[in-house]
Structure 1
Amino acid sequence: MATNWKKTFTILFSGQIFSILTSSMVQFAIIWHLTATTESAVVLTMAGLVGFLPQAILGPFIGVWLDRWNRKLTMIAADSSIALFSLILGLYYYFGDPSLGFVYVILLIRSIASAFHAPALQAAIPLLAPEDQLTRVAGWHQMVFSVSTVIGPALGIAVYSAASLGVVLFLDVVGALIANLMLLFVPIRQSKPEVQEAPHFLNEFKLGWKTFVQARPIVIITAATAVFSIVFMPLATLFPFMTLSHFGRGGYSASLIEAVFSVGMILGGLLLAVMASKWKDITYICWSLVIIGLTCLASGMIGPGAFVVFIALSFLMGAASPFFNGPYMAMIQKAYAPEMLGRVISLVTSVMLLASPIGLLLAGPLVDKYGIQSWFFWSGVVTVLTGALLLASFKKLQVSDPAPQS
């Protein structure tokens, strides 16, 4: 591992960049299509809801299987399933115009497959990298994600405008095939579980929960993340609506905001990879929340003519994001044994994703009634307070509670 781990991650991330790129194209193209055809925040939040809810509900149970299944094969099967249903929806759009219900069903199925893929990848990372390099790898992961998402919205809207949504969905199939091909060359040495019989879900869930709560710092951060997810995650769906309704601009301006946010994430991920050992993970997390909150709050106060200011705020918001996501996942990977990571990561992911639909259900009606800026403003206030309270909690915790052990 000491000599080959960088080469391994080069191969792994080289494949994932294609999958994330095409998925980003699909995600933005679908959101923009629904925005342009319905002009309804409720429709957008429903699309977000069916994308989040399956992962939130299934996560704890999926984690039981992830700690027993081959994680590489799980990722390949999940990515292939996503590609298959992209193909089905693409064919429907190519030959006709599917109903909203059908679109929701496909998004639902894609979300179920994603519930297997994302935690399987995160649980595999500690098997591929030394423990003291996990925060640095998290920075690389954020860069790969950001490079793909910075290009994805622009390509998605370009292909959507020049051809159709069906063509965008077909490209997602190609991206998944490339990612799976590269993954075949990545050796993931996963120890076999001691228990071979079919697990009892309730007992395994309890075991995962008991393991999770043993690391008190992770529990505190996860609680803060749930609050953050309720107020912030709806913005990922509502960003195009802000561009359309408040600034009165079209698809290319909406894709510009997505691109600027992602450029910020690229630079933030690069900075995190360079500065990984400068400060503690929790320091990065708290200040990330404060900066994200301040940019959201400011976005909720600017006028319709300040689109350039919104661009700058989106950049800062994106640059701060890797300093939350990367260190948080690295803390989890360091705090638990590899054979339990599938359950713990799935459980943590479920907490975050279950909070997100709550935010989406609240955001849709409130945005339709009070405007998109109101959600930006108050989400910023809550996020700043969450970061400040989390920092205060960890100052007390350092005195009374030892750091978690892996």
Structure 2
Amino acid sequence: MLTNFWTGIPALRSRNYRLFFAGQGISLIGSWMTQVATVWLVYQLTNSPLMLGVVGFTSQIPSFFLAPFGGVLVDRWNTRKILIITQVLAMMQSLALAVLALTGTIDIWHIIFLSLFQGVINALDAPARQTFVPEMVEKRADLASAIALNSSLVNGGRLIGPAIAGIVIARVGASYCFLIDGISYIAVIAAFVAMRVKPKQITARTGNVLQRLKEGYIYAFNSPLIRSVLLLLALFSLMATPYITLIPIFATKVLGGDAHTLGFLTSASGVGALIGGIYLSTRKSVLGLGKIIAFAPALCGTGIIVFALSRTLWLSILMLLLVGLGSILQISSSNTVIQTIVEDDKRGRVMSLFTMSFLGMFPFGNLIAGILAERIGAPYTLIIGGVFCILGSLLFAKYLPKIRQATRSIYQQKGIIPASHST
């Protein structure tokens, strides 16, 4: 039965990826516990939607400025060693939060500083993690499955982590969420150490870092598919993802709940995302992902709008399930398409642009959402974001036929499609 499970999901046929799957699965539960505990603690300390936005801004802004440089380093350095270093640093960050919270000395400025530190770590970790996926799978054909399964892993953690966090926060406090997260990093660090990975071929390059950055930008934005996917992803991240930061307001002020309610709401989006991730992980081909990328933001935007208008817990949970489904379809499909067509020697830099478009837009979305929520209220803020998601979806769908035509030759060169097919 176990053998059938491995063969049913192509990526799990690779030993290295199975190690990653197990270690990262444990670590991500802790990471989601910390995320929920952080927004809850910030709101308890300040009772301010603006401060929720500020903390969200500081935790993600390094990805916008530093991720491109991280991509250059990833193209030049040993990826596994980079990931071990970033995981050790992330463990130290979580344990620092735990010590401050357990001793009762934590203040909002501590959270802001440590969130900024985690953001710097993520700016290097995210492009390294994206680039390392092809190194973990033994067969190139299993790459799409691995990318989609990564998303399932993240959202499996989102399903379990917040539910546990809600219980832990209600029973013993947010500090123990940070402690559990810090300990959970041991699993993924051990997984990276245990892997047997072929040494990455690192070609000697001429030119300085800025020249390498420019080369990566030109390559990405000269590709109609990569350019369009990155721009849509940036809009999606700016307008859709701030719902995560504002959830404590809906859990307490709108729905009249507590930490348990927060856990239910966050887990609901994880359920939807897990469903989408499992679906994508079983797909055999990249074909058809263009339509999914066009459709997913509209699905997510609709869910956000109805969630903003909902005043009952069951409807809010249902809508966040749709939001999670739309989010993972958008993010994972975009990742898979880009990873499929990008040239290996530019993978780190292009995936750093993916990180910049995805994680790098979070801080601006969080800050804007925090300011708007303070002025016009959280429900109206989310409605605006949902409308922009739908508009972006419609615009991408309008130009999708032209994008397909421009990308056809690349898919043919890689043997993905014959001349009569489209992307």
Question: Structure 1: which 5+ runs fail to align?
Answer: none
Equivalent residue for 2:115, pick from 107, 113, 137: 107
- For normalisation by structure 1, the TM-score amounts to 0.93
- Within the candidate set 14, 19, 30, 1:11 is matched to 19
Q: Percent identity?
A: 22
Q: Find the counterpart in structure 2 of residue 62 from structure 1.
A: 70
What TM-score comes out, normalization by structure 2 length?
A: 0.89
Query: CA separation of 1:135/1:171 partners in 2, compared to 1, >3 Å: closer, same or farther?
Result: same
Q: Distance in 2 between matches of 1:4 and 1:145?
A: 16
Partner SS state of residue 233, structure 1: coil
Deviations 1:113-139 (Å, cap 9, x if unpaired)?
A: 122222111101122333333222222
Change (3 A) 1:279 1:398: closer
Correspondence for 1:31? 39
User: What CA distance in whole angstroms lies between the structure 1 residues aligned with 2:406 and 2:226?
Assistant: 15
Q: Distance in 1 between matches of 2:83 and 2:179?
A: 20
Shift of 1:320: 2.5
1:51 offset after TM fit, Å? Answer: 0.7
Structure-2 change in CA distance of 1:16 and 1:400 (3 Å): closer
Preserved contact between residue 123 and residue 338 of structure 1 (Cα < 8 Å): no
What per-residue deviation string (whole Å, max 9, x for no partner) do you get for residues 130-166 of structure 1? 3333222222112211121111112223223333333
Q: How do 1:125-140 and structure 2 match up within 5 A?
A: 125-129=133-137, 130-140=139-149
> Of 220, 229, 244, which residue of structure 1 is paired with 2:237?
229
Report the Cα distance in structure 1 between the residues aligned to 2:287 and 2:209, rounded to whole angstroms: 39
* Secondary structure in 1 matching 2:247: helix
Moved more, 345-354 or 40-49: 345-354
* Shift of residue 4, structure 1, vs aligned partner: 8.3
Pairwise CA RMSD: 2.1
Distance 1:343 1:397, change over 3 A: closer
Structure-2 change in CA distance of 1:266 and 1:212 (3 Å): same
Question: How far does residue 293 in structure 1 lie from its aligned partner after superposition?
Answer: 1.3
> Could you say what secondary structure the match of 1:390 adopts?
helix
Match of 1:296 among 281, 301, 304: 304
Q: Structure 1 stretch 218-227 or stretch 72-81: which is displaced more?
A: 218-227
Counterpart position of 2:158: 149
Q: Shift of the alpha carbon at 1:6?
A: 2.9
Shift of 1:290: 1.6
Q: Which residue of 1 aligns with 2:266?
A: 258
- Equivalent residue, structure 2, for 1:249: 257
Q: Deviations over 1:273-325 (max 9, x none)?
A: 224538511111111112111111222333x2x22111111112212222111
* Greater displacement, 265-274 / 3-12: 3-12
- C-alpha distance after superposition, 1:188-224 (max 9, x if no partner): 3243322278x62211111211222232211011111
Distance 1:343 1:86 in 2: 28
SS at match of 2:309: coil
- Counterparts of 1:3 and 1:375, CA distance in 2: 39
Give yes or no for contact 2:93–2:114 (8 Å, CA) kept in 1. Answer: yes
Q: Partners of 1:71 and 1:52 in 2: how far apart?
A: 22
Measure the CA separation in 2 of the matches of 1:136 and 1:44: 35
Give, as a single letter, the amino acid of the residue that structure 2 aligns with 1:134. Answer: L
Q: Say whether 1:78 aligns with 2:86.
A: yes
Q: Residue 150 of structure 1 contacts residue 263 of structure 1 at CA under 8 Å; is this kept in 2?
A: yes
The one of 53, 57, 71 aligned to 1:45:
53
Offset at 1:58?
Answer: 0.4
**Which moved further from structure 2: 363-372 or 77-86?**
363-372
* Aligned mate of 2:317, from 298, 311, 320: 311
1:185 maps to 2:191: no
For 1:319, the aligned partner's letter is L
Pair 300,179 (structure 1): closer, same or farther in 2 beyond 3 Å:
same
Q: Which residue number in structure 1 is paired with residue 328 of structure 2?
A: 322
1:222–1:351: 8 Å Cα contact kept in structure 2? yes
Q: Which residue of the partner structure matches residue 290 of structure 2? A: 282
Tell whether the 8 Å contact from 2:268 to 2:317 is kept in structure 1 after alignment: yes
Please say if residues 247 and 262 of structure 2, whose CA atoms lie closer than 8 Å, have aligned partners that are also in contact: yes
Aligned mates of 1:400, 1:86 — CA distance in 2: 45
Structure 1 CA distance, aligned partners of 2:45 and 2:129? 35
Aligned to 1:383: 389
* Number of the residue aligned with 1:94: 102
CA distance in 1 between counterparts of 2:316 and 2:284 reads 29
Cα pair 1:216 1:404 within 8 Å, conserved: no
User: 2:370 aligned with 1:364, yes or no?
Assistant: yes
Call closer, same or farther: CA 1:196–1:5 in 2, change over 3 Å. Answer: farther
Describe the SS at the equivalent of 2:245.
helix
**Post-superposition offset of 1:231:** 0.8
Aligned residues of 1:247 and 1:307 also touching (Cα < 8 A): yes
Tell me, in whole angstroms, the C-alpha distance in 2 between the residues paired with 1:113 and 1:189.
25
Cα distance in structure 1, aligned partners of 2:72 and 2:174: 36
SS at match of 2:194: coil
Question: Runs of 5+ in structure 2 lacking a partner?
Answer: 1-9, 415-423
Q: Distance in 1 between matches of 2:367 and 2:236?
A: 15
User: Is 1:169 matched up with 2:178?
Assistant: yes
AA of the residue aligned to 2:110: F
- Asked if structure 2 preserves the Cα contact closer than 8 Å seen for 1:215 and 1:335, the reply is no
Equivalent AA in structure 2 for residue 293 of structure 1: G
Q: Partners of 1:287 and 1:166 in 2: how far apart?
A: 40
Q: Secondary structure at the match of 1:67?
A: helix
Structure 1: distance between partners of 2:406 and 2:22: 43
State how far apart, in whole Å, the 1-side matches of 2:327 and 2:108 are: 32
Asked if 2 retains the 8 angstrom alpha-carbon contact of 1:23 and 1:172, the reply is yes
